[in-house]
Structure 1
């Protein structure tokens, strides 16, 4: 391990307060240097909540602020456990570096961008750890084993389960931060967690190498956390206005892809490469780009052409969709969950026919979007609590959690407002 120290750093965070990193601590000096890499600084230019700012005007936080917050919570919890269990101390670097860099591979527009372009941030995070010259060098200089260990964490194969559980599990520091942070920034009151209580009750089981939570002390706090997560998804992350904004953003880039293939649009090299990669992904090929082109992209670069497209008359569809996105002239969303599939298709066909008669392209102006919400899923190990009978799944102990296991699906028809009459007429016929 290279003992390289640097000047200490403090980040004044709106959620956690002062987050200080000690430049005299070898691990925290590494974290400071990782934060200063261009690949990590790029996260300042990617919104955490993609299009949610159209609905919640304060939702302007970045992947950068979230990632630093995840590091803060992970350090707080890990250091608490390591003070009691000395055998955990050698894992501090891999745990904290993995927490900091867990989102470094996000595309422009965050999760909306993943849907639009067909890329997956976990895969790109792995590539950045391997291929980015500054990130990979810093990790390897600290410890030659560190890059491989972090790849294991990403793949959920790290031999000490605790490390992966803190980064990505049903009860991880990533979720703790985004639920609390997104609640703060959106003004929604659903995301208030009792983080202090959760951190207090979380423990470590040396026999299994896993997180351990006593049911008697922790059940109520974990139940509350899962209910908070459910309401944030139903009321914030899947808000119909956000779905409409995502739809317009998707159709806008899909139209640009069509024009690119026709040779009817000129774009900067970065966006051109991304759109060709997205076209390939839609055909079933991998989304592939040279890493420098991937890291050159952010929300600002990809939003920059919208104003020019909106002012150009060369393609009316691209111009209109760009103007709508810029001016928040969003489409309308109507919940059609209750309709049988046959009726949904009949409704879409009716609206499509009217659009064609009026010169609108249904492919660009009409669509169905589904939102799936599951307050708790039983994947992997789920959340295990310690009881007098041993380790038990929380869903077996809590009727409230059992109720959250069932997946809730909402289906929305998205369309321009002038077509509300035909939609409402169909629904109430």
Structure 2
């Protein structure tokens, strides 16, 4: 029988390598964790193809989602001591933290680029659709699923609550920096989360931080900066992402041409046709993707077969630094040379660009404008972080972009065929770095 206060008779505890323990006392949260839509996240890695670069990066969206819930639970516990919180708002906040990534597809961002999808939209569809998650949320009231969906869409009336899960310093980022650093074995993502939570103070529209905790916030910003360039944008990981996306593009092209697959991609049909249903989407996870990739190693189409073998056996593309202005001058010649030696440049000559804005101050009206981090000064006034921190000021508003050109070097160093053309290609590619 359900308790009137919505609590479990006994607290449930998950052992966690990052937060030590994850505590669940609310019946709502416990039921949501048990849904098939949430359990699906066990079969989706948090860092996509990063496991091919950092072999420990096998953790999942399930791990991360529990972690974000736990960070949020601790945030709320600290904030409740400093302000009044509506009990229902607390559950909206916790449910939103837990479910914020439930719409992610296999290999996450690479998958989204190929199929032009947005995981946040799928998250809202799962929350509002014919799902076990929706059934459980409705037990809290007819409008409860919409409240959770609005938090994730950043349209919820309570802006403070939205900022706790989506801002420049939020529960999501705090968990993934610590968790990804732990599982990749790097030290860049470490910061003092406990200190940040202690100096957090609620305001009407966002949480702010006591000036005395500024150095902990600085450390967080710099940790994020380092993680993006040392882990998230690692060139080997990006090579794997390039090959993965090209596999999916090739399969889509072959399906459109009525190619006779040995293993027909039935799980992808509606995805390729742009008419995917919620039921079809929820059937997709990384075990399904890898099943097809392994099967397609034996396909008669040489491009699909080769790309799948490369991905499954980690024979990735090599890369050179790419200067876009210089690349435009040699691109037509490179493409023609690739065609001459029998390589389709659409699949074997790929430019990949990454960019990040580690911290931004408020720029009203600009696209994707970011609400800045504010410090609560000793006199009670608020001051934007970069105005107080020389370290953060140095990187504020500065977008760093990196371009790389990926290609199958192993096929170019084999001089048994087209030696002159291959030497010319390698010369052009090496000049990109020079």
Maintained 8 Å contact 1:66/1:177: yes
Counterpart in the other structure of 2:180: 182
- Give the Cα–Cα distance (whole angstroms) in 2 for the partners of residues 43 and 128 of structure 1: 13
Is the aligned partner of 1:295 residue 2:282? yes
Deviations 1:368-412 (A, max 9, x none): 111102111233321111123721211222222122220011110
- Give the structure 2 partner of residue 247 of structure 1: 242
Separation in 2 of the partners of 1:274 and 1:340?
32
Whether 1:272 and 2:269 are equivalent positions in the alignment is yes
TM-score (normalizing by structure 2): 0.89
Report deviation, 1:346.
2.7
Would the aligned equivalents of 1:190 and 1:231 in 2 still touch at CA under 8 Å?
A: yes
| Aligned mates of 2:17, 2:104 — CA distance in 1 | 22
Of 9, 13, 16, the residue aligned with 2:16 is 13
1:382 to 367, 372, 391: 372
Superposed CA RMSD:
1.9
The equivalences for 1:189-228 within 5 A come to 189-205=187-203, 208-215=204-211, 217-228=212-223
1:412 counterpart (390, 395, 404) = 404
Q: How many residue pairs align between the two structures? A: 407
Q: In structure 2, do the counterparts of structure 1 residues 37 and 375 end up closer, same or farther at CA, with 3 Å as the change threshold?
A: same
Q: Does residue 390 of structure 2 align to residue 399 of structure 1?
A: yes
180-189 vs 132-141, which moves further: 132-141
CA offset at residue 85 of structure 1? 2.0
Q: Deviations over 1:144-178 (max 9, x none)?
A: 33112112212222222221111111110000000
Distance 1:137 1:350, change over 3 A: same
Distance of aligned partners of 1:80 and 1:89 in 2 relative to their CA distance in 1, 3 Å threshold: farther
Matches within 5 A, 1:321-400: 321-336=307-322, 339-341=323-325, 343-378=326-361, 379-387=369-377, 388=379, 390-400=381-391
Kept after mapping to 2: 8 A contact 1:48/1:62:
yes
How far, CA to CA, are the matches of 2:3 and 2:307 in structure 1? 52
Q: Residue 392 of structure 1 aligns to a residue in which SS? A: strand
TM normalised by structure 1 equals 0.90
User: Is the alpha carbon distance of 1:395 and 1:265 closer, same or farther for their aligned partners in structure 2, counting shifts above 3 Å?
Assistant: farther
Moved over 6 A (4+): none
CA offset digits 1:70-102 (Å, max 9, x no partner): 000100110121133233444110000000000
Which residue of structure 1 lines up, in the alignment, with residue 419 of structure 2?
none
**Per the alignment, do residues 256 and 123 of structure 1 end up closer, same or farther by CA in structure 2, a change over 3 Å counting?**
same
- Higher relative helix content: 1
Given that 1:37 and 1:134 are in contact with CA atoms closer than 8 Å, whether structure 2 keeps it comes out as yes
Distance (Å, rounded) in 1 between the aligned partners of 2:430 and 2:99 = 50
Tell me which moved more, 371-380 or 189-198: 371-380
What do residues 230-277 of structure 1 show as CA deviations (whole Å, max 9, x unaligned)? Answer: 000011000000111000001111110110001104424322222222
Q: Which deviates further from its counterpart, 355-364 or 82-91?
A: 82-91
User: Partner residue of 1:64?
Assistant: 62
Which ranges in structure 1 are unaligned for 5 or more consecutive residues? Answer: 23-27, 278-287
Contact residue 160 and residue 210 of structure 1 kept, 8 A: no
Distance in structure 2 (CA, Å) of the matches to 1:330 and 1:298:
22
CA distance in 1, matches of 2:292, 2:333: 34
Partner residue, 2:304: 318
